[in-house]
Amino acid sequence: MIENFQRFISPRVKNSTFSCIRCGTCCKLSQIILSNREIQAIANYLKLSVQKFKEKYLIKKEIHKIRSIFSDRFEIQGKVFILKKNNQNYCPFYREETNGAVCEIYYYRPIVCRLYPFTWKTSQYNPKFVSVAIDYSQNGWEECPGINQKNGKSWDELREEVTGAVLLSIIQSNELIADGFLVQLPK
């Protein structure tokens, strides 16, 4: 997924109207989901065992979703790991410095942080018509002052290019399901 992110999204985000001004709003407000691979990488970086990292930083949340990518449908059921908030109700790795927000695990930050203010969205909960797209998240539109910061391609022009490849990669690699299953549904 990270490879796809770098290959498909990063160059396009650089040419878009988005530019992060390091206000820290997303780190204060977002719910951060982590894949098994991200958990392992961050635990290693913090020199903690995976078990200790989970106990200190994560909670589990149940999910059950149906997702369609192009003409294929997938059912995802299980549990995902989410970062616990600190006592200010912010991400525990968020820090404020005089020149802006800092992520203490920047080079190991989860994919949802790399993607923000973009996210993958479901159109509606109806397995026959559900579709998913990469788009500005609702929080992004409402809270991120980095959107429309500079001249560049609008997201409407970029959306089609990145959505399919990135989502397919996320879902097929099963990365975000910590404890559960993913099956491709019959057509």
Residue 67 or 109: which CB sits closer to ligand SF4? 109
Gyration radius of the chain over CA positions: 17
Q: Which residues pair with 77 in a beta bridge?
A: 64, 181
Nearest to 115 by CA among 68, 176, 67: 176
| CB closer to ligand SF4 out of 75 and 135 | 135
DSSP structural state of residue 29: H
Q: Which residue has the tokens 């650089």?
A: 14
The residues that touch ligand SF4, with contacts defined as CB under 6 A, are 20-27, 30, 32, 91, 93-94, 101, 103, 105, 109, 113, 116-117, 143-146
User: Rounded to the nearest whole angstrom, what is the least distance from the CB of residue 140 to ligand SF4 in the complex?
Assistant: 7
**92 vs 164, beta carbon nearer ligand SF4:** 92
Rounded Cα gap, residues 135 and 32, in angstroms: 17
Closer residue to ligand SF4 (CB): 36 or 172: 36
Query: Which residues sit opposite 83 in a β-bridge?
Result: 58
147, 139 Cβ separation under 8 angstroms: no
